[in-house]
Amino acid sequence: MLLAIDIGNTNVTLGAYKDDVLSFTARLATDTRKTGDQYAVDIKEILHLHNLDFSSVEDCIISSVVPGVTVAINEAISKLCHIVPLTLGPGVKTGLNIKIDNPAQLGADLVAGAVGAISEYTLPCIVIDMGTATTLSVIDANGFFLGGVIAAGVRLTLKALSENTAQLPSIHIEAPQSVVGTNTVDSMKSGLIFGTAAMLDGLINRIEDQLGTEATIVATGGLSKDIITHCEHNIIYNENLLLDGLKEIYNKNN
């Protein structure tokens, strides 16, 4: 069994593959204070929850944007399974042609998402990942990673609003009945949901204009499922795109 782990700023996502088939996914809160031993306990309990023993883990691949947690989870996997995980970074074969100014700056999560999209969808492709940040990655018809867009994520925007204004509360993120809110809470919901959807539509239009053609659009992460239903473009939702990308990268290196 291959264990694929994506370490994001908010969540650690785990997926287990048997013969290239995803058998389960699980999420932990990203916590920079946890030690390797604590993560080992968490991962062991998750495996037991899915009726699996850690001895069934034959290998592991990790992508991460939180270096401190990467170290802790590497320690956890080494202690549990007596293997050294493959950590996505320099020297790891991805098959991705990166055309940005400094390819070393491209986040591991964006690499995994792009590899997953290339393996599953028609190119060119725009990959939307809605986590702590909202990112759009652009892959051309030849499979080249051209670059992308980074914006504040929905929860980060809400946190900035509620913590830096005297009269705006923290709210549940959901679509209101109308774009035009008739109270503070609905007005904030409209800005967060419809505003983000409109931003995505506008960026997709501009990206497709630059590409000179329409693109396949895929979304993953966080609140994307709730946001893209309010977009004008046809956007495919793939919850496990990054895990699938990690599995593809693992296969390229083995």
Alpha-carbon separation of residue 129 from 106, 134, 195, 221, 242 (angstroms): 14, 6, 16, 5, 9
Q: Specify whether 109 is catalytic.
A: yes
Please list, in sequence order, all residues whose beta carbon lies within 8 angstroms of the beta carbon of residue 204, skipping any fewer than 6 positions away. Answer: 126, 136, 215, 217, 231, 233
SS3 249: helix
Across the strands, what pairs with 218? 127, 236
Choosing from 109, 186, 226, 244, the catalytic residue is 109
Question: Which residues are tagged catalytic?
Answer: 109
